[in-house]
A = this chain, B = another copy of it.
Amino acid sequence: MTSPAGTDSGLLAPTWAGSRAQAETTDEAFLRAMLDVEAALAHAQAELGVVPAAAAATVRDACRAGRVDLGQVAVAARRTGNPVPGLVTALTAVVAARDPEAAEHVHRGATSQDVLDTACMVVARRTLDLIAADLERTAVALVGLVGAHRDTVQAGRTLTQHALPITFGLKAACWLQGVLDALARVRATAAALPAQLGGAAGTLAAYQEYALLADASRPAPAVELAALFAAGVGLAEPLVPWHAVRTPIADLGAVLGLVTGALGKLAVDVLTLSRTEIGEVGEPAAPGRGASSAMPQKRNPVLATLVVSAARQVPALALVLAQAMLAEDERPAGAWHAEWQPLREALRLAGGAAEAAAELAEGLRVHPGRMAENLRLTGGAILTERLNARLAPVLGKAAAKGVLAEAVAEADATGTTVADRLAGLVPPDVLTTLLDPAGYLGAAGTLVERVLRRAGALVPGAAR
């Protein structure tokens, strides 16, 4: 057996390398979370009189001392299928070195899944809080962009082709709407993440046994213990153990997919709009950002690329988490074990993407001049829907559509404009009015207002 000296510095994951989410989701962070859980359990048991207060304090101190060898625990996990037995052995030794008596109380009544599930929720909670903060930053930045570009007209594009004029303000408001959807769910999910306490088969039997041995007068001390324990680790109290009812895991997958999906929408639009030929937006400049190893002129849209790369991975990880619900028995052989790595990766991908997206939104450069140029590219054809609306009542729907299709085709073939082709049919001044993109924006302004109001209600600092 080789050394477990593997590291995961993020070399292959620039989306989260160096991010705050990375720091919260390392193996060390999970190890610390598991130790925090053991400490909180001892403390909660001390509150119920099951464990001497001094022993609980010793356990807590040992948990904080950081003497447990991560590599040893990891490799030991291969023998038992999960890292907790090895962790308990190591922790027990550390405690015993301080107080052999206290060592008897380590992990008392507990099962591996209580420790690992709760630690996963603790890590998830911390990472979701980071994500929420970055979504808020993104929302505030987008509110700024929306406000600044409420009247900046731009080509709306469908199936890659110019369709109708829109405003860049409306486009950014749509990004904002997705971000707010994600933020609302992240907050709700974070608040609901439950601690896990069930014992070896979800009955809390050993916790209850130890508690009744200490004090036989309480009717259901283990249920009280679960509440104290949840409070101690800062998580929601579970209604019942969820050893084999994996709703919280599936929920995490779904919400992280929503985060990267909402940010991914923003990112794919930035990628498109920053194409050399389109040039309507640009990523924030920073030294070395977007540099190529080969081409001195390149400025790659790196932040958007990192966000998209996350958005292409998280749904697949969420799928593994959704399938974890097919958990046979009181603890499944494989479905549970397949959760941990995908959950961690989804957390740090979403966290890294949120950090990148915030930076992208805060620094996005917008080029109204290029937007105006591009709007002229189709020689007015981008406004044929409007012309159609005016001609149809006069000529009939089918005839109007035919006239306009022909005008567009001729303009295209002859290098002239739709206005040229319709000159005989519609008075010039009317045509000029009808072909002004700024005059055909529908309810864009009202729609923008609606999203801004929602942002103001949801995000401190986004009110205008």
Contacts and interface: CB of A to CB of B under 8 A. Distances in A.
A53 interface: no
Interface in A289-328: 289-302, 304-313, 315-320, 322-323, 325-328
A80 B290 contact: yes
B329 A440 contact: no
A67 interface: no
B440 A205 contact: yes
Given A103-B397, A112-B293, A12 B268 contact: no
Contact of A389 (B213, B250, B309, B328): B213
A203 B299 contact: no
A37 B383 CA distance: 26
B23 A11 contact: no
Contacts of A451: 239-240
Bin chain A's interface residue count: 35 or more
A20 B268 CA distance: 34
A269 interface: yes
Nearest to A203: B442
Contact of A305 (B11, B81, B173, B294): B81
A9 B12 contact: no
Contacts of A177: 239-240, 242, 245
Contacts of A133: none
B205 A442 contact: yes
11 contacts: A6-B27, A9-B74, A15-B337, A104-B397, A159-B331, A271-B328, A296-B401, A304-B333, A305-B334, A307-B334, A311-B334
